[in-house]
A and B are shown apart, each in its own frame.
Chain A
Amino acid sequence: MVKAALVALACLIATPAISYACLNGVEWTVDDDIRMVKRAEKQFESGQYGRALKTVRWLRPGDKRLRTRIADLKAIIAIRVHDPKQDLSKSVAHIEARDDAAGHKDIKLYAWRAEAYVAVGRRDEAKAILDDLHARDLMPDAYGYLALAKLTSGTTRLEMWKACRTRAKDKDMCELPKEVVSARKAPTK
């Protein structure tokens, strides 16, 4: 415990402060809360969910926007790594409320809503959202394509699986049941 705390402290000291010289061409920001939230989001994007949660575990930013981003992160991680025994209702409700507030204009939240619905078995609602995003070429990341692949079949499923692999940093995250692989190999036989 003490060792872990020392390691964490050393990491904090060793990490240089992030400087945004020009976030709007004019902004200058050195903010440890921002640094940690951004780090957590990077870890989340690369699939390091446990690390992302650890990064924000003790974070209590004064800025409401940062607190909201942390809450979003916790909710979507709970949905992505969910244990069937776990109750996801709070996480799903959080994402729904945030997406409602954004009026579906925050595409990431809108896609997360679909992921949440997939996780709790609301497949038709999930598919409606993902079809909409795909049709408008607004799928924010590979996870959306993975979710859509899971909700479709045949050539569409294969197409979504390919899109997932193209847009995923870690191709293994796009793993699907064997029927997809068979379909992919079919033309070469």
Chain B
Amino acid sequence: MTFECARCHDIPGIELAPERKHCVRCHQAIHAGTFAAKQEHLDRWKKRITSMRWAPSLAGADRLRRSWVQAFLLAPHDVRPGLIAQMPRLAITPEQAARIAAHLVPAEAPEPAARADGAMQVDGVARTDPSIARGAELFRALACGRCHRFTGSSVDDVALHAKGRTVGSSVDLHTKGRADPLDAAWALAPDLRFARQRMTEASMAAWIEHPRGAMPSLGVSAESARMLAAFIAGAPLDTSAMSADARTMPARLPILARAVTYDEVDRRVFKNVCWHCHAVPDFARGDGGPGNSGGFGFAPRGLDVSSYEGLASGALDDSGERRSIFAKLPDGTPRVVAHLMARYVEEAGGSVDGVRGMPLGLPPLPLEEIQLVESWIAQGRPR
């Protein structure tokens, strides 16, 4: 309950958050036109609401390795390329992560014994099992790449994946019986390069044969599922694409020479992004968002970005004292800029000591927008 996981996820044994508190249900209701609002508002919001339209159901989390779930909670990274939002980096301890992982994965799947052919389930190690080659053929024949990226593998097909987003009714297999199922299946499909860390090969095979949630049933036999799992677990991967460099922070762009106004930075950044979580409690039935009144396990920070005065009033630190969000850190970076830059590191599974990446759980702002914020600060934050 502390982390309000049920505001995004369906979780076994835990009641869903009410619609007005449930990010995904609320966004889905808006897109379905069932949200109680005027049509003109719904039409406008539909164009703007792109993130948090889906979140993985945790009812199927028992297929995962418990140790992976725990590690992921502590250092979340981008597993699902079709989702805009990703698991936020929570203020969670290893003990809390272990308890959540144990709830989601009550029975830890046994690690498989070494295969008879001596094959290993490790990145970059070639497998000799003939079922891997057959699995690759099946992967292509079933067009798994329409929904799944498999970065670093021989079957990863960016163009096919992009096409899968829009092809719609041509994939009959994926569109039976559910509203907008292709979008859900596509959006929630994980990059399979992480599958071997997330699941055992046996779990993969069982899941492919009898999937749940957004994953459509492909009607494959147990044997085919086993071969697909062998391929996903054992295909050689090009690890150069996921080097340690991915976790390094990109260089900031230089301060702009032109004048930057508050109106511009407010329109492009503060009101466009930050305001959704750092709002005014008095105008929102006492809830100023997790970044103001607290939520998702975070203490109230009292940050209101909806006005110039709110921004200038800073945020509460860990001791409950106000501090400027523009104050320079020891390396000279304004605090708010450091938070925005840290998101680049977090997205790749890293973290920056003492600085949580913002926007929480969303892709980092483009460097040009961070440049705008920093330039505005450097120019004295003109009104």
Contacts and interface: CB of A to CB of B under 8 A. Distances in A.
A26 B26 contact: yes
A49 B35 CA distance: 38
A141 B312 contact: yes
Contacts of A178: none
B284 A23 contact: yes
Interface size class of A (residues with CB under 8 A): 35 or more
Contacts of B41: 19, 21
Nearest to A68: B282
A166 B377 CA distance: 11
A66 to B, nearest CB: 7
B185 to A, nearest CB: 24
B284 A140 contact: no
A57 interface: no
A98 to B, nearest CB: 13
A108 B20 CA distance: 30
Interface centre among A20, A104, A137 (most CB of B within 10 A): A137
Interface string B213-234: 0000000000000000000000
A136 B316 contact: no
B282 A65 contact: yes
Contacts of A19: 37, 41
B22 A26 contact: yes
A29 B20 contact: no
Given A27-B287, A167-B383, A69 B282 contact: yes
Q: Classify the secondary structure of A's interface with B.
A: loop
A22 B283 contact: no
B289 A138 contact: no
Interface in A14-49: 19-29, 34, 37-38, 45
Nearest to A168: B383
A45 B307 contact: yes
A139 interface: yes
B145 interface: no
A138 B312 contact: yes
Q: Classify the secondary structure of B's interface with A.
A: loop
Given A23-B284, A28-B35, A166 B381 contact: yes
Interface centre among B282, B309, B316 (most CB of A within 10 A): B309
A169 interface: yes
A36 B322 CA distance: 29
B316 A28 contact: no
Contact of B322 (A21, A27, A138, A141): A138
Contacts of A24: 276-277, 279, 284, 287-290, 295
Given A19-B37, A21-B41, A26-B20, A140 B277 contact: no
Interface of A: 19-29, 34, 37-38, 45, 65-66, 68-69, 104-108, 136-142, 163, 166-169
List the 7 closest pairs (A to B, CB-CB), nearest first: A107-B313, A23-B284, A137-B324, A24-B289, A65-B282, A166-B380, A140-B309
27 contacts: A21-B49, A23-B280, A26-B20, A26-B26, A27-B20, A27-B285, A34-B283, A45-B307, A45-B309, A68-B282, A105-B316, A105-B320, A136-B322, A136-B323, A137-B314, A137-B326, A137-B327, A138-B312, A138-B324, A140-B309, A140-B312, A140-B313, A142-B383, A166-B380, A167-B312, A167-B380, A168-B383
